[in-house]
Amino acid sequence: MTASKSNRARNARAAAQASAARNAARGGTAVKNGTAAARNGADRNDRADRNDRAGGNDRAGGNGTAVKDRTQARAAAAAKRGPRTPVVEDDPGQRGPAVWMQITTFVLALAGLGVSIYLTIAHFTESALAGCSESGLVNCTKVTTSPQSYVFGIPVAVLGLAFFVFAAVIMSPWAWQAARREVHLLRIASMVVGIGMVIYLVYAEFIIIGSICLYCTSVHIITFVLFVLTAFGAAVWGTRPGAAWKLGRKAGPEAVSA
């Protein structure tokens, strides 16, 4: 009886120890599982942080590249435009050279046209020129009837008339305000031809004929003044004064000539 109780007690203690061992094993496994889960969560968080930082760096790099591209585009556009030239803003409603230049040249051209018309009429009607001496250094009849009064078989009076008809047009304010460069180049060319003709006629009067004509001299002076003013206008306002003034005249003597 006593031995049986002793055996049951030992069995009970063995069962209790086995149960405790099993419980301890299960508890250790749970701890291990919890530790592994925590470690996995930390790893995931670290990867997420690295991804966020990488994304931020990519966005920052992209923005920097875009700004750099825009800066380079602006620099290229500025280089293509070339250096800006300072301009003096004048009356925005005014075009062409100064008003005095336009009016002065137009009036002179009309005056030369009037004298040329009178000389042409006197040439074909063979009438004496009013107020002109017929002897000495000033002798209009001697000049207007000399062989030198013809050039290539055409009366000089007719050539002068044609020249001043053209001059009245090319010296008008409308022509000075033209934006086309050809108009202003044509004005310069016509004045070069005109002053060349004047030089020849002055030579003929003083050297060949030995007399001068007051009306012819007045035409020569008008042509010379128009030549000087045209050269001055080309030097100050360029060969496109209408376009230059429309855009704003350049500071100083330079002007738009392209």
Q: Which long-range contacts (CB under 8 A, 24 or more apart) does 3-9 make?
A: none
d(CA 139, CA 129): 10
Residues 110-151 pLDDT 10s: 999 999 999 999 999 988 888 887 778 899 989 999 999 999
d(CA 194, CA 220): 9
High-pLDDT (> 90) share of the chain, %: 44
pTM of the model: 0.59
- Strand, helix or coil for residue 131: coil
Residues 151-201 pLDDT 10s: 999 999 999 999 999 999 999 999 999 988 999 999 999 999 999 999 999
Q: Compute the radius of gyration of the chain from its Cα atoms.
A: 52
